[in-house]
């Protein structure tokens, strides 16, 4: 509980200093499948035909894009939103925290809303909340987590949006914690992949997102609740089960269609696939399987100075081009194949730039895209976010002020003691 109160105090301070995030007016067009942009890259393996309107496949280690089907087009995320919800909650709470359900949560216990039937005044742990949000897509649990962690739902949504920006999302805005329909609640396939990638770096998130079975123990108002995943790629009894799938989240609303974010890992290689606005969950799964098979069958990992990069089979280090820039006191070496970003390597400023010969000309537009991917790929690896720096500054000032007050109080008490004598 102390962590929660401390977090609430800091969040209150942030809300007084930082302006509320502004909502970018966007038009979410849907109904027309996007073209596969990566099919136009010379020497790049042709991607699979997918029925989802937009899709993306990325390397979870580098953030490099292997398949791009309208990855930056706006779509509604539906319940894949809960990936961001759970990550934000995990980063700002303890698994043992006790969450008591208020009107905020139980209002979403309706026949047409995914829920686990929580009751007013019922208590479960924060860990129970995380698993219920992912495995059962429980909307009332997400709303209650938001109020508990943020103090209010609105403040928690601000936290979600701020964290998304820190991760590198440029085309996302959340309006609620569940993914329920809202014109100002939108994202892209690429941004969802970035959020999933950030989540996989958190061991608690990784444990939750990979959950197949979980039981919420009996509470003060209900018997134990057993939960089993409804994600076909993770359920061994499903004919769509995918060997190596390490987690994912489904979603569905009328405007969003069926949405799916999934990660798979084999032989030390991890990929993230996002498929948006499919006609049904089966189509999401079929598209995702095709994307993972495409990655595992058509790409290899090469290593440069200890850093892995995913490239088309047959490509060597000598086939890559490199572009360098300074970032946070280090040199970022961005590597490309045929103009497509494939990975990066951070080196100290005094180290020589890795020498790579160019065999295929690169295009400025592809390099610009690669720079954006590389910038997002190093979020959290090469320094603190601006918000974190600001908070550290504020905490330093508060610490100095506290020391001054303690010294002043000491001398005041000493003076009073002498006067009594």
Look at residue 11 in the predicted model and tell me its pLDDT.
Answer: 46
Look at residue 364 in the predicted model and tell me its pLDDT.
Answer: 45
Which 3-state string (H, E, C) describes the chain? CHHHHHHHHHHHHHHHHCCCCCCCCCCCCCCCCCCEHHHHCCCCCCCCCCCCCEEEEEECCCCCEEEEECCCCCECCHHHHHHHHHHHHHHCCCCCCEEECCHHHHCCCCCCCCCCCCCCCCEEEHHHHHHHHHHCCCHHHHHHHHHHHHCCHHHHHHHHHHHHHHHCCCCCECCCCCCCCCCCCEECHHHHHHHHHHHHCCHHHHHHHCCCEEEECCCCCCCCEEEECCCCCCCCCCCCCCCCEEEEEEEEECCCEEEEEEEEEECCEEEEEEEEEECCHHHHHHHHHHHHHHHHHHEEEEEECCEEEEEECCCCHHHCEEEEEEECCEEEEEEEECCEEEEEEEEECCCCCCCCCCCCCCCHHHHHHHHHHHHHHCCCCCCCCHHHHHHHHHHHHHHHHHHHHHHHHHHHHHHHHHHHC
Q: In the block, which residue shows the tokens 């969802």?
A: 192
Q: In the block, which residue shows the tokens 């490099």?
A: 64
Look at residue 314 in the predicted model and tell me its pLDDT.
Answer: 96
Residue 412 backbone dihedrals phi, psi, to 5 degrees: -65, -45
371: number of Cβ within 10 Å: 16
Look at residue 373 in the predicted model and tell me its pLDDT.
Answer: 63
What pTM was computed for the model?
Answer: 0.82
Look at residue 383 in the predicted model and tell me its pLDDT.
Answer: 42
Look at residue 417 in the predicted model and tell me its pLDDT.
Answer: 44
> Distance between CA 292 and CA 196 in Å, rounded?
15
30: number of Cβ within 10 Å: 16
374 CB-contact burial (10 Å; exposed 0-12 / middle 13-18 / buried 19+): buried
Report the DSSP beta bridge partners of residue 187.
Answer: 75
> Distance between CA 58 and CA 166 in Å, rounded?
19
> Distance between CA 136 and CA 131 in Å, rounded?
8
The rounded average pLDDT for each run of 10 residues, N- to C-terminus, in the chain (421 residues) is 45 45 75 96 97 98 97 98 98 98 93 94 98 98 98 98 98 97 97 98 98 98 97 97 98 97 96 98 98 98 91 96 90 95 88 51 48 58 49 65 65 51 44
State both tokens at 391. Answer: 């908070």
Candidates 139, 116, 115, 137; CA nearest to 249 is: 137
Look at residue 375 in the predicted model and tell me its pLDDT.
Answer: 62
With a CB cutoff of 8 Å and minimum separation 6, the contacts of 331 are 324, 325, 346, 347, 348, 349, 351, 353
> Distance between CA 261 and CA 250 in Å, rounded?
7
State both tokens at 26. Answer: 């966007």
> Distance between CA 36 and CA 212 in Å, rounded?
33
Candidates 78, 74, 29; CA nearest to 252 is: 78
Q: What is the CA radius of gyration of the chain?
A: 24
CATH 3.30.365.10: does it fit domain 2-301?
A: no
**What sign does the dihedral 221-223-224-225 (CA atoms) show?**
negative
State both tokens at 256. Answer: 């969003």
Look at residue 32 in the predicted model and tell me its pLDDT.
Answer: 93
Task: Note whether 189 and 70 are within 8 A (CB).
Answer: yes
> Distance between CA 309 and CA 307 in Å, rounded?
7
> Distance between CA 419 and CA 26 in Å, rounded?
70
**What sign does the dihedral 98-100-104-105 (CA atoms) show?**
positive
Start-end of CATH 3.40.710.10 domains in the chain: 2-301
């Amino acid at each position: 509980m102390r962590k929660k109160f401390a977090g609430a105090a800091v969040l209150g301070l942030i809300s007084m200093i930082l302006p509320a995030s502004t909502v970018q007016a966007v038009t979410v067009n849907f109904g027309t499948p996007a073209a596969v942009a990566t099919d136009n890259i010379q020497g790049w393996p042709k991607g699979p035909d997918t029925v989802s309107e937009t899709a993306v496949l990325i390397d979870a280690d580098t953030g490099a894009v292997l398949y791009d089907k309208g990855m930056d087009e706006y779509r509604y995320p539906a319940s894949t939103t809960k990936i961001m919800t759970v990550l934000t909650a995990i980063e700002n709470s303890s698994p043992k925290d006790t969450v008591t359900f208020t009107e905020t949560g139980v209002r979403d216990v309706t026949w047409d809303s995914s829920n686990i039937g929580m009751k007013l005044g019922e208590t479960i742990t924060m860990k129970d909340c995380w698993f219920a949000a992912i495995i059962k897509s429980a909307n009332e649990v997400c709303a209650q987590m938001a109020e508990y962690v943020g103090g209010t739902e609105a403040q928690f949504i601000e936290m979600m949006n701020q964290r998304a920006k820190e991760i590198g999302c440029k085309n996302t805005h959340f309006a609620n914690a569940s993914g329920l329909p809202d014109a100002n609640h939108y994202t892209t396939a690429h941004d969802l992949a970035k959020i999933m990638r950030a989540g996989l770096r958190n061991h608690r998130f990784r444990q939750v997102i990979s959950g197949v079975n979980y039981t919420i123990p009996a509470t003060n108002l209900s018997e134990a609740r057993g939960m089993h995943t409804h994600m076909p790629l993770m359920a061994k009894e499903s004919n769509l089960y995918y060997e190596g799938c390490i987690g994912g989240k489904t979603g569905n609303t009328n405007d969003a269609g069926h949405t799916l974010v999934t990660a798979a890992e084999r032989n030390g290689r991890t990929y993230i696939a996002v498929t948006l606005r499919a006609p049904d969950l089966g189509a999401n799964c079929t598209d995702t399987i095709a994307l993972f098979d495409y990655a595992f069958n058509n790409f290899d990992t090469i290593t440069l100075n200890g850093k892995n990069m995913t490239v088309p089979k047959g490509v060597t280090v000598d086939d890559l081009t490199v572009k360098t820039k300074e970032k946070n006191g280090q040199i970022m070496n961005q590597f490309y194949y045929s103009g497509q970003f494939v990975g990066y390597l951070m080196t100290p400023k005094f180290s020589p730039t890795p020498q790579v010969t160019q065999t295929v000309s690169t295009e400025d537009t592809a390099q610009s895209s690669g720079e954006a991917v590389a910038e997002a790929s190093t979020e959290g690896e090469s320094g603190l976010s601006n918000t974190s720096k600001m908070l550290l500054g504020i905490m330093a000032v508060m610490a100095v002020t506290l020391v001054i007050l303690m010294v002043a109080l000491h001398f005041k008490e000493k003076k009073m003691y002498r006067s009594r004598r």
